[in-house]
A and B are shown apart, each in its own frame.
Chain A
């Protein structure tokens, strides 16, 4: 009965229009659509459409990012309503993300965060220059499933290893899956530091994260 509205919701995501998506989310609450249904039958259809077009090489990266932002805006409007109704959107997992200590390069990491967020992960982005203690502390605090670390410098890559060693030392290694990435990060490095996941780009990172939580 709300087919038109669902279509508009999907379209707002495809258009990457955060204003439209949050207004439609508000409208769905007003007319009494259950928020979970607004997400699944409306907004997520748009995310999937853009994701598929991107996979075929037809959509460009900014379209994917803007779809993610529009999705985030819609979910922000729907979340309080979800809580009020005692329902919860089933998330794929919690991810703590950071650029490692001594490194301030975060565009790739931020992009990974956006992609994971729009793919159903709950993302805690610690920003740049994050110490092992800060990363591990946050992972414990939010009971994360995955720790994701980026590094751009050949001299800060080693911090990824330090975090993994620290997890081992504290007996926490089994509790978190660890993903690494960044321009100098190679498959050999990923293997040598015994991380659980590695991708060369943000789209691949979503695939890896899904595998790590058993969602794919």
Chain B
């Protein structure tokens, strides 16, 4: 058990969402797509690597066609197990296939202000506040950059953001908001200072990088260059597909899985060709576009199935998965938010996705809500409890106690009850009060969740980052701004 971090481990619940034959068929379809249709890699460095390895490279269209065996042999070099290290080594996260960890979602542009309750544009102080609350929360195991620090210069914004998180939390930082070579280079330098040098960083990477693909079947040049730099430094790197039924993928789920899979495994293979054995992860948040408008869904039966199916694919390639769950499309922490975030997180958890992204957002990862963050943490706690399943043995069958109570008695005064009552889940944000009590107050989960976030923010003092490191980080950032 990692210190102060809750994870799902040794699960009793299981689900077969795809048969081995179906996975094979999706894999074969993916290889066909990469070989016959091709994937766009708009980066000179990436195209050079593909060309050097014998792939068919169209320099003008920047499209690469690769034979299946080259992709397969490259993927065999991916390490199946490695840690996401934290500033506090007791909070390192083993990505070993037997843990599900939750992060904060990102990267939004608005915040429901924790004091005023008003919606406004996000800024650096929000990154700081959210990091501090996440640091204190046992459900949050690692950070994404939750919201954009829009009051910092855009060319160094990604660096201001990770600096702010490191200064306010000892947990692992995975950034999804660094997608240029110059920022990646500086971020690696900052990370290596925390780890204690380049070699130490390889062993205990305190930073990981997540890059979005550009579906269908494309990538962003800056993302590719940043990912190659990270892979070279031994920093865990993942490509996330958000291919969507009907818009950036076929209307059918299998086809959308294959398109997204082609984007992810082609880019993953590229990293392995360049730096064999570099730690990589699969990342995905596929969804079904709304048929009426084409809008992002943020939840729905197809999205929940994608959440379960993707880990089967990443297991097939034997690499960890970072899966999009939570991220409701609801505008308020309401019925829709509850159902979407519960089902998406349950489906991604039951197949043991290694990382879940993440808690805290409304309106499709655009508006940060502290209340939603706290309630999302509770959803994860409920699922973590469910995943333990039902333990059946002599102690839990409790026959002696049953005999002692007999017909018409109660179990409230039994020693066995006292020993096991703490096994039962105690919710923080469920209303189980008498009706009259609710009627007199008319408060609910949102009020309690917001109050909890405010309390943490007022009281929690994270272990500070060495001020010398902070000063060095400021110097690195300043140098890039001049």
Contacts and interface: CB of A to CB of B under 8 A. Distances in A.
A105 B214 CA distance: 7
Contact of B293 (A102, A186, A201): A201
A184 B366 CA distance: 7
A91 to B, nearest CB: 25
| Chain A interface extent, by class | 20 to 34
Contacts of A60: 291-292
B361 to A, nearest CB: 13
Nearest to B215: A107
Contacts of B251: 62
A61 B289 contact: yes
Contacts of A203: 293
Contacts of A202: 294
A189 B155 CA distance: 19
B294 A155 contact: no
B107 A154 contact: yes
Interface in A27-51: none
A107 B42 contact: no
A156 B120 CA distance: 19
Main secondary structure of the interface of B (DSSP, over half): loop
A111 B107 contact: no
A61 B294 contact: yes
In the complex, which of the residues A54, A57, A104 has the most CB atoms of chain B within 10 Å of its own CB atom?
A104
Contacts of A107: 247-248
Contacts of B294: 61, 111, 201-202
A102 B155 CA distance: 11
A2 B292 CA distance: 34
A76 interface: no
B246 A62 contact: yes
B289 A158 contact: no
B461 interface: no
A120 to B, nearest CB: 21
A199 to B, nearest CB: 12
Interface in A141-161: 153-156, 158
Contacts of A111: 294
Contact of A104 (B121, B155, B214): B214
A154 B177 contact: yes
B370 to A, nearest CB: 19
Interface in B295-324: 295-296
Contact of A186 (B110, B155, B179, B222): B110
Contacts of B293: 61, 201, 203
Contact of A155 (B121, B157, B296): B157
Interface string B213-224: 010001011100
Nearest to B216: A107
B109 interface: yes
Contacts of B109: 154, 184, 186, 189
Contact of B121 (A54, A156, A189): A189
Given A201-B295, A202-B294, 16 more contacts: A57-B292, A59-B292, A102-B222, A104-B221, A105-B214, A107-B247, A153-B179, A154-B107, A154-B109, A154-B148, A154-B154, A155-B157, A156-B154, A186-B109, A186-B121, A203-B293
Interface of A: 54, 57, 59-62, 102, 104-105, 107, 111, 153-156, 158, 183-184, 186, 188-189, 201-203
27 contacts: A57-B292, A59-B292, A61-B246, A61-B291, A61-B292, A61-B293, A104-B214, A104-B218, A107-B247, A107-B248, A111-B294, A154-B107, A154-B109, A154-B148, A154-B157, A154-B177, A155-B154, A155-B155, A155-B158, A158-B154, A183-B366, A184-B109, A184-B148, A186-B109, A188-B121, A189-B121, A203-B293
